[in-house]
Structure 1
Amino acid sequence: MERAQRFGHVVMLGPTNAGKSTLLNRVIGQKVSIVSPKPQTTRNSISGILTEGDAQAVFLDTPGLHRQKRGIAPLLLRSAYAALGQADVVLVLLDGARYARDPDALRADLRPVVQALTNAKTPVVVALNKSDAVRDKARMLPVLAAIGEALPGAELFPVSALTGQGVAELLTALFARLPEGPHQYDPDEISTAPVRFLAGEIVREKLFLALGEELPYSTAVTVENWDEKSKPGLVKILATILVGRESHKPMVIGKGGERIKDIGAKARAEIEEMIGSQVFLELWVKVRPDWAADQGLLRELGLGE
């Protein structure tokens, strides 16, 4: 007798830099969300599709929950909260290693999580990430107690998004909580996001990694043109990096254009690997101080209503 199929959405929720994007990429087995040591890297509810046997889950990697109220921070929170409306299961990801060092950080990080889940009726599973890095396991006991008090009834799994430790057990628990229903995607599909959007995200990741602490948050990447027809076997992509101030432009371009060349070369190589085709990537940098107030652009970036 065949088992009934299961299908649903798993919304990944948690503070900034907890490792949600790393875990999503680990689960899917391929990069679908950008990873950076800087907080608030994820701006959209990036999706990854995982099909295993009779279960299919769409994972939504949301922007990190935080308490900032300036710049694009409110937009990021709105994107995270909006994703909860699609949730069949909520996966809360927390940084176990950080809380073992600083228990007060856990209390601060749990507040917006608990607030977001107030009155939620969907199952909640907690993944305590980086717990393998804690040598003195006794330091995890107050962490576990605090999580249990804040999120009663939630099952907790220690995992390592970096190494994959504990991820199989976590997936088994998540799949068991999905509602019964037919699969909505082909088994080989890995994301609901358009390839064009993912290419823009790759450029943005290389931008974050290249500039480190120099990069202001008033930046965005838009793909202006995607041409697969002009030359067979070659995809021509024109992407624009938007910056908020004139002084930011030379930071992105670099001396003699070296920095933007390096960003472009690294992004092109990863896009080629993703789409299985040669790519000609052209990057432009434009100053646009008010881009975060442009509703049309925000919709294009997945942040507008």
Structure 2
Amino acid sequence: MSNQEQGFKSGFVSIIGRPNVGKSTLINHVIGQKIAIMSDKPQTTRNKIQGVYTSNDAQIVFIDTPGIHKPKHKLGDFMMKVAQNTLKEVDLILYVVDAAEAFGPGEEFIIERLKETSTPAFLVINKIDKVHPDDLLSLIETYSKKHSFAEVIPISALQGNNVPTLLEQITNHLNEGPQYYPSDQVTDHPERFVVAELIREKVLHLTREEIPHSIAVVIEQMKHRKNHDTVYIGATIIVERTSQKGIIIGKQGSMLKEVGKLARADIEALLGSKVFLELWVKVQKDWRNKPQHLRDYGFREDEY
């Protein structure tokens, strides 16, 4: 009997929320592979990351949006447009909040966006391991007064607590539909994109506060070497200032070597083959405010 004959369900689910509430951690836990970069620095997700979860009776295509925040530059404007446009394109919205954070103006801003769409929304309260159950109840009450959520589900994305319940409830809310992707496919992004994101994650992880939002990673080359089981990858890390270039390269190239070592391990796991990774660092002043550079580095507004 085919999936469709058994009442197979499918749909697109957007994950929204303020920066750093654990959206990427949730996608990575559900998919079981690292496709969305994780960092303790906010605003690390820039493009829509699609994670594909397939079970025997459903396929859920997750879209992870940039954290909703007030934009400060053209890249910020782009990120906000991506986040808001996604709400119109999906079957269900997961609004993820941090259980340890009080309700504030940022949450009010997002709830106003939810009221502007007819798409049903779940309130997903993440990081429940950080709070007392009594505090959780009052937080649920606060949010429930602000918006009529289809479901309220407390979870810990990091530990996996209650995530199976969340997947079950999502499946219940989806309509019958086709399987959009093969069962073993976990993302619709080309490998180059995921490789660039893994390199960027390592830079974010290893460098100081001044670096994160002023870097982009461009994959210059990615090819199988003849007579080798090795994939050659050449990538350029783009920064805005000469001082940042020095930080990323490090003393006698030590920082860049460490970025390469950590990124190569993740890329080899992703590709399932040995990787020769070569990294360069290039200064492109104020690239985040220049539409041409944003296009060159993969931020295409016309795609959304």
TM range (shorter): over 0.9
Structure 1 match to 2:63: 60
Matched, 1:128 2:125: yes
For residue 229 of structure 2, the aligned residue among 230, 233, 258 is 233
Q: In 2 relative to 1, CA 35–216 (structure 1 residues): closer, same or farther, beyond 3 Å?
A: closer
Q: Which segments of structure 1 move beyond 6 Å, counting only runs of 4 or more?
A: none
Matched, 1:41 2:41: no
Structure 2 match to 1:196: 192
Q: In 2 relative to 1, CA 30–108 (structure 1 residues): closer, same or farther, beyond 3 Å?
A: same
**Which residue identity is paired with 2:256?**
I
Write the distance in 2 (CA, Å) between the matches of 1:62 and 1:299: 20
Decide which moves more: 176-185 or 275-284: 176-185
**Which residue identity is paired with 2:172?**
A
For residue 82 of structure 2, the aligned residue among 79, 83, 93 is 79
Write the distance in 2 (CA, Å) between the matches of 1:244 and 1:299: 15
**Which residue identity is paired with 1:197?**
F
Contact 1:38 1:212 in 2 (8 A): no
- What displacement does 1:303 show? 4.4
Structure 2 match to 1:25: 28
**Which residue identity is paired with 1:222?**
V
For residue 143 of structure 1, the aligned residue among 136, 139, 144 is 139
Write the distance in 2 (CA, Å) between the matches of 1:227 and 1:216: 28
Amino-acid identity (%): 40
- What displacement does 1:124 show? 0.7
Q: In 2 relative to 1, CA 172–212 (structure 1 residues): closer, same or farther, beyond 3 Å?
A: farther
**Which residue identity is paired with 2:279?**
L
Structure 2 match to 1:263: 259
Deviations 1:73-119 (A, max 9, x none): 22211121122232111011000022xxxx3xx22231221132233
Stretches of structure 1 lacking an aligned partner (at least 5 in a row): none
Contact 2:11 2:59 in 1 (8 A): yes
Equivalent position SS for 1:117? helix
Decide which moves more: 142-151 or 50-59: 142-151
Write the distance in 2 (CA, Å) between the matches of 1:84 and 1:204: 26
Structure 2 match to 1:169: 165
- Counterparts of 1:74-113 in structure 2, within 5 Å, are 74-98=77-101, 103=102, 106-113=103-110
**Which residue identity is paired with 1:248?**
Q
Contact 1:242 1:287 in 2 (8 A): yes
- What displacement does 1:260 show? 0.5
Matched, 1:178 2:174: yes
Contact 1:148 1:154 in 2 (8 A): no
- Counterparts of 1:246-261 in structure 2, within 5 Å, are 246-261=242-257
RMSD between superposed Cα atoms in Å: 1.7
Q: In 2 relative to 1, CA 299–46 (structure 1 residues): closer, same or farther, beyond 3 Å?
A: farther
Structure 2 match to 1:15: 18
Structure 1 match to 2:73: 70
TM-score (norm 2): 0.93
Q: In 2 relative to 1, CA 299–116 (structure 1 residues): closer, same or farther, beyond 3 Å?
A: farther
Structure 2 match to 1:114: 111
How many residue pairs get aligned? The number is 298
Equivalent position SS for 1:230? coil
Write the distance in 1 (CA, Å) between the matches of 2:129 and 2:272: 36
Write the distance in 2 (CA, Å) between the matches of 1:302 and 1:72: 8
Structure 2 match to 1:280: 276
